[in-house]
Amino acid sequence: AQKITQTQPGMFVQEKEAVTLDCTYDTSDPSYGLFWYKQPSSGEMIFLIYQGSYDQQNATEGRYSLNFQKARKSANLVISASQLGDSAMYFCAMREGGAGNNRKLIWGLGTSLAVNP
């Protein structure tokens, strides 16, 4: 069955340092997409980065990069040069299936990140 696992309930990082948030997934579908979202205390869910299962390169968006290791079924989020505003809950999510019908996301339980000054 499809599943997303985030094993770190909480993480701390010093400002300006890099941090890696772990995400492993389980699926039997060869075509899938992986997403990371940030949720600050205000509640809004903010899309950060996407990785498709057939993408050859690891996705990057500014300070965010996705360390995609397909054989290990992991999709870790790396935040470089942490800022105080990065303190938030981070969710990893997966969508199965290629372009077409499946629009539902499977969500992990989230990792709470605190950036220390």
Nearer to another protein, 18 or 103 (CB): 103
HSE-CB at 111 with a 13 A cutoff on CA atoms is 26
Residue 114: CB minimum distance to another protein, A: 15
Residue 42: CB minimum distance to another protein, A: 7
Nearer to another protein, 9 or 117 (CB): 9
- From the list 116, 115, 104, 108, the residue with the least C-alpha distance to 37 is 108
DSSP string over 48-89: EEEEETT-SSPPEETTEEEEEETTTTEEEEEE-S--GGG-EE
- From the list 28, 29, 47, 33, the residue with the least C-alpha distance to 91 is 47
Nearer to another protein, 14 or 60 (CB): 60
- From the list 25, 98, 9, 15, the residue with the least C-alpha distance to 68 is 25
Which residue ranges make up the site for another protein (CB under 8 A)?
A: 33, 35, 37, 42-47, 50, 52, 91, 95, 98-99, 103-105, 107-110
Residue 86: CB minimum distance to another protein, A: 18
Residue 17: CB minimum distance to another protein, A: 26
Nearer to another protein, 43 or 85 (CB): 43
